[in-house]
Each structure stands twice: as structure tokens, then as C-alpha cells.
Amino acid sequence: MRFYLAKIALLIFLIPNPAFGQGVGHVSAQIDSLKMELSTATDSLEVADLCYALYRKYTFEIKSENSEMPDYLFRALRIYENSTEYGKLADVYNALAGFHYNRNLLEKAREYWTKSNLNYQKSGNDLQVAKSFNNLSLAYDYKDSLKLTYILKAIDISIAISDSTILGSAYNNLSAYYKVNEDYEKAEAYLIRSIKTAENIGKITTQQAGYFDLGLLKKTRGQSSEAIAYIEKSLTFNAIRSTDPNVMGAYEALVELYEARGDYDRAFYFQKQLMNTKDTLFNAQVNQRLLSLTSALEIEKSERTIDAQQSRIDLFEKENQLKNQRFIFFGVGFVVICIMVYLWKSRQFTRKRARLQEGFAQSLIKNVEQERKRISSELHDSVGQHLILLKNQAKVRGTDEMVETVGATLEEVRSITQDLHPVVLGRLGLTAALEEMLEKLDESSEVFFDREVENIDQLFSDDDALNIYRIIQEALNNLIKHAQAASARFQVKRLENKVLITLQDNGKGFAVEEKRLMSQSLGLKTLFERAEMLKARFNILSGQEGTRLTLELNISNRV
């Protein structure tokens, strides 16, 4: 039942401006020219008009729902929405509502028809207002009181403006409403009124639908001969109307009616008619269904495209954000890594260079020591021995003067060899060597030495011992030369696993770091270099109250 009504409704809103009888080829040429116009149109309203015109061409003249249709409609809609063309806007809404209604999207259809209705009201086109009320009623269920309200509104307006264009259709709707609610008297009365109204204005479709529905109503009420008469009457319109959406229903009803009467010949005839029509109509239906499905798909697609575009925009934005974040993250990360690598490399380079320098300085010190030792023993072995012989000979055969001179020379050589390399260190060990050195300084200088030396022999390798000796020697020399100290305290303490050597004076002190950085102060540099070689903790504290030098040597890891 619904199906047929739907078809009627569809026809109602399709009908506004019928232009039949023109060739499809002619129409497609018109469409092409419209498209051309559209492509060059600059005024927005003109664009909208062209869009709507194109839609109409497709819908009413080619009668196929082209996939571009929704595009044209929406395009027109957007333009009209921002204009005062309420009538045109209402037309577009109307078209959209029909679109949705045909696809059983009732809610959307209601929305668009309501909008259409409101805009027709604005534009002051009462006929269209009535029409849209009638259409709107279609989108409501029979049990919904709004359906009846809207139908009645459509009827009232039509009567008020004395325009019965849609009045027949509205009466038909009203009849259907009463039929569903089983008020058959009213249903019949309104159907008759519908047919009469349609006849007055020569509206075939409404007449045909009216007779068909009247037949069905009679059939429902058990008045079979009247039913047959009305339905057969409805079929007579087929010759005039190219497509009758109710033809199959009519055949089916007739088959049943004749069968019930026992008139099998007629029943068989209509059954055959039904089969034939079914074949052709079925195909047509299938095709139309297919088409409508396709276009439904298109609509959905376009809606989805909009959604998808929106979400794509969102997504894109998010992606962009993410990309940016990632870019920033990776960028910053990369820069950080670069900096780290650079720092690491340069640190390694400096370290390597420092190591190289250190190694160079240390091997230089070692070589110098070796060389000094070599020269020292060379002097001792050659010059020294010869001078010894010479002195002994002079004592026997020479003069006192000669003895004295040779003695003095020998003394000089001795002091040179001693300076070059401390022989006591090699022979008696570090403790004795340090004692020896301090005793000499005590004797030769005005500085009062308070010393406390514990035995640290056998704790260090020869090289280490020599370095310790040299450090103390250099420190003591500096003390005597520069400190202007009255007294000094020298301590060598042997602790459980380390040796602590301290030298403290009450002199004027000096700026350690300044001196150390000055390239001239080779002695101080060498001091630190030797401490480094010893892997000792070496510290010089200097101030106005004197200088304190500490040398802390680990002995647990030494041989």
C-alpha cells in the first residue's frame, strides 16, 4: 500500500513543470549548453539557477538520477541559503526532500520538506506551501497525528486559494489515512472527492490512483463487483499515462477478485497480464531500483565525501601536527645528537691530544732523567776517576796548590754529578736520599727545617722513587729560592696503604694556578707532570701564611 502511495507522492513533486515530448538527444544538448553556461558563469545566483536547472533537466527530462545531481543541488543550496531567493531555496529543499523520501530516509525528508515549507511561506507562494504540507504529511507514519494535521493544512490552503492542483492528491492522502484507521466511509468519501477534483482539472494520475484505491477499498469491504469495476476503470488510464505505478497491484487484485467469483477465464487473463507486466515492469523496477540505489549511493558518497573531507581535514591537521611534532622531535633530537657527537668527538680529540701531550711530556721527562743519569755516571766514571788519580798523584808528587785545585775541581764534578742524578737514591733508597737532600739544604740555607721522615723504602719502583725525589727536590728548591720562609716542616708519613708527603713553609706564598699556567714556569709544570706519572694526588695550597704541598701516593697497587 505504502509503495503505491509513495509513487503518487513522488509524482506530485515531480510534476511542477512537466515538459514531456522532447527527445532525449535534444535534452542532452540542452544539458551540455547549461553546463557550458555554468562553467563560465560568474554571478553566484546565476550559478545556483544553472545548477537547479541542470538538476531539473536530469530529473524530469532524462528521468535518470545522475550522480552529479546531488552536487548541483547542494551547490545551488549553498548559494540560495545566503540569498533572499526563498522560493528557489524552497524548490531545492523540496527536491532534496524528495530525494531522501524516495530512499526511505524519512527523517531527512521531513527536515528538508519542513525547510522547504518555511521558505515557501517566506516567498508567499501559497500553492507551494500547500504542496509542501502535503508532501510533508507523506513523511509521517499513519499513526502520527501530525500526518493528518499536515494533510488538512494542505487541503485548507488549497481551498482557501481556490487552487486544486494538489487538492486531489491531498484528498487521496486523507482517504488513505482513514482507510488505515478503518474509517472506510470517510476513506471512500474522500477518494470520490479526490477523483472528482482531479477530473475537474484533468489530472490523470490522481484520477487513476483514485480509481485504483477505490477499487481496493471496495475489495476490502467485500464489494467485489464494484471493486472490479473501479480497478478495471483505473487500468483504462494506462493508455494515456505512460507509467502506472499501480498496474501490477491492479492486476493482482483483479486476479484475486475473479478467482473468488469463480470467473477463472478472467482471472487467468489478468494473471497472464500480470505475468507479462511483471516481466517488463519487474525489469523496469529493477532498473529503477538499481538506479535509485546507485544514486542513493552517490548521495551517501557525496555526504560521506564531505564527512570524509572534514575528517580528512581533521586527520590531516592531526597528522600535520603529529608530523610537525615528529619533525620537531626528530629535528631537535638530530641537532642534539649532532651536538653530542661533536662535543664527544672534540672531547675525545682534546683528550687524545692531552694524552699525547702528557705522554710526550712524560716520556720527555723520562728521557731527560735517563740522559742525566748517563751523563752523571759518565762524569763520575771518567772525569771523576781521573781527577781522583790526579789528586792522589799530586799529593805525592805535586804541590799543595795543585792538590787544592784538583780537589776543588773534583768537588765541582761531584756536585754536578750529584745534581744530575742522586746516587744515594739508587744505592740507599728513597728515605736516605730525601734525608740527605734535606740535611744539605738545612746546612746550606737559613731555613729551619723540622723534619719527620718515616721509612718508605721498597715501596716504589726506581722510576717512581726518582719522581718523588724530584718533586721534593723541586719543591724544596722553590722554597729556598722564593718562599722567604723562616721555617719549613717536612713530613713523610707511611699510612696503611698510602704514603703522605707534606712540605709546609711559612713563607710568602704564590699564586699556584697563575704560575702553573705561565709557560715560563717549567718547574711547576714538571712537578704536576711527575705527580701525574706517579698517579698521585698532588696539591699545592698557597696563601699569605705560606705554602702547603701535599703528595698522596697509593701503595696498595704498586710493587
Partner 1 sequence: MCEPTLVLADDHPLLLKGLESSLLSKGFKVLGTAADGSAALKLITEHRPCMAILDIEMPYMDGLSVAKFCKEKGYDTKFIILSYHKETEFIARARSLNLSGYLLKEDALDEIEACIHKVCNGEQYYSSAFQMKEVTSAQTALDRLENLTPSERKILKLIAKPMSTREIADTLFISERTVEKHRSNIIQKLDLTGRSNGLTTWVLHNKHLLN
Which C-beta is closer to partner 1: that of 348 or that of 385?
385
Query: Rounded to whole angstroms, how far apart are CA atoms 376 and 464?
Result: 19
In the complex, least distance from residue 397 CB atom to partner 1, rounded to whole angstroms: 11
Q: Cβ of residue 460: shortest distance to partner 1, in angstroms?
A: 18
The nearest distance, CB 520 to partner 1, in angstroms, is 30
* CB neighbourhood size of 235 (10 A): 21
3-state secondary structure of 455: coil
Return the number of the residue (69 or 437) whose C-beta is nearest partner 1: 437
Determine the Cα–Cα distance for residues 342 and 467; give it in Å rounded to an integer. 37
Task: CB nearer to partner 1: give 291 or 424.
Answer: 424
User: Which amino acid is it at 116?
Assistant: S
Q: Give the three cell numbers for residue 181.
A: 484507521
Rule CB under 8 A: which residues touch partner 1? 380-381, 384-385, 387-389, 391-392, 395-396, 406-407, 410, 414, 418, 423-424, 427-428, 432-433, 435-436, 439-440, 442-443, 446, 448-450, 486-487, 489, 504, 506, 546
Contacts 24+ apart (CB under 8 A), 508-517: 508/482, 508/483, 508/484, 508/544, 508/546, 509/483, 509/542, 509/543, 509/544, 509/545, 509/546, 509/547, 510/482, 510/542, 510/547, 511/542, 512/540, 512/541, 512/542
Tell me the CA distances in angstroms from 207 to 169, 193, 235, 345, 377, one per residue in order: 9, 10, 11, 97, 143
| 273/550 with CB nearer partner 1 | 550
Q: Which is nearer to partner 1, 69 or 379 (CB)?
A: 379
Beta carbon of residue 426, minimum distance to partner 1 (angstroms, whole number):
9
Pick 259 or 436: Cβ nearer partner 1: 436
Q: How far is the CB of 549 from partner 1 (least distance, A)?
A: 15
For partner 1, which is the closer residue by CB, 249 or 429?
Answer: 429
Cβ at position 532, least distance to partner 1 in Å: 29
Could you tell me the smallest distance in angstroms from the CB atom of residue 511 to partner 1? Answer: 21
Min. distance of Cβ 367 from partner 1 in angstroms? 23
What secondary structure, in 3-state letters, does 401-429 show? HHHHHHHHHHHHHHHHHHHHCCHHHHHHC
In the complex with partner 1, the residue whose CB is nearer, 127 or 410, is: 410
Contacts of 470-473 with C-beta under 8 Å, sequence gap 24+, read 470/369, 470/526, 470/530, 471/527, 471/530, 471/531, 471/534, 471/538, 471/551, 472/434, 472/437, 472/501, 472/503, 472/551, 473/437
